[in-house]
Amino acid sequence: MVERSETPLMRLIFLGPPGAGKGTQADQVAGALGVPHISTGDMLRAHVAGQTTLGRQASALMQAGELVPDDLVLAMLMDRIDAEDAAGGFILDGFPRNLPQALALQAKPVGAIDRVVAFIVDEEEVVRRLAGRRSCSHGHIYHVDDRPPLRAGVCDLDGEVVEQRPDDAEEVVRNRLAVYARETEPLIRFYESLGLIIEIKASGPVEHITQQILGAVRL
């Protein structure tokens, strides 16, 4: 567990390919900074599980590894960052995913971002991680080899079933990586031009990467 400290307002984006460890690190860093971890993937999966209108619109696209249309994601995200618990800052995990989403965020006063953490990890490692990833419906993340739950198939934190995400099937992972390269990776250059990018080598022990991120964002 990472020690929590008082930190001024901090609005962060975690950017990186599927399986880079954004969700794993966002949980740790959010706890340490006392800000909410806002994952558009987790929010959309909750809509799918709840069979809401948005969930029904998003479900097939997510299962195929395609992006959900910007207007749907933007409406959901903007509501979330306007919530009271995000007034002191937040970590965005999985958003923005393309230039229109980044520009829409930038146009909001609450979208003034302090740092963008770019996760650097090679593709082979990402495929290995996603093949072994398991998670519960609340988004708590495990890995069958590297980070198994204490009781097989059961979340340590909430007792929910821990299972494989449907979009972690190998052919879907390949498509998600292609979508990332085409739509999302160009955002690194966009945020570089704004002087906001911090590059983090995202392989090695989880705790070590957390400390690197905390050190870099507090500078």
Beta strands in the chain (DSSP E): 10-15, 37-39, 89-93, 115-120, 133-135, 141-143, 197-201
What is d(CA 56, CA 52) in angstroms, rounded to the nearest whole number?
6
List the one residue from 65, 81, 116, 140 that touches ligand AP5 (CB under 6 A): 65
**Among residues 146 and 158, whose Cβ is nearest to ligand AP5?**
146
Kindly state the helix (H) or strand (E) to which residue 145 belongs, with its residue range: none
- Determine the size of the site formed for ligand AP5 (CB under 6 A): 35
Cβ contacts of residue 26 below 8 Å, gap of 6+? Answer: 14, 37, 39, 91, 93
The DSSP secondary structure of 23-56, one letter per residue, reads: HHHHHHHHHHHT--EEEHHHHHHHHHHTT-HHHH
Q: Which of residues 99-128 bind ligand AP5 (CB under 6 A)?
A: 101
User: In this structure, are residues 5 and 32 in contact, taking their beta carbons and an 8 Å threshold?
Assistant: yes
Q: Is 147 assigned a catalytic role?
A: no
Options 11, 115, 129, 176, the catalytic residue: 176
Establish if 146 lies at the interface with ligand AP5 (CB under 6 A): yes
22 binds ligand AP5 (CB under 6 A): yes
The encoded tokens of residue 136 equal: 């519960």
User: Residue 45 catalytic?
Assistant: no
- The residue from 15, 80, 89, 94 that contacts ligand AP5 (CB under 6 A) is 94
Does 97 contact ligand AP5 by CB under 6 A? yes
According to DSSP, residue 2 is labeled P
Decide whether 8 or 148 has the Cβ nearer to ligand AP5: 148
Which position among 22, 115, 129, 134 bears the catalytic label?
22
Q: Which residues are catalytically annotated?
A: 22, 97, 133, 165, 176
Residues that bind ligand AP5 (CB under 6 A): 16, 18-24, 40-41, 44, 61-62, 65-68, 73, 94-95, 97, 101, 129, 132-133, 141-143, 146-147, 167, 176, 203, 206, 209
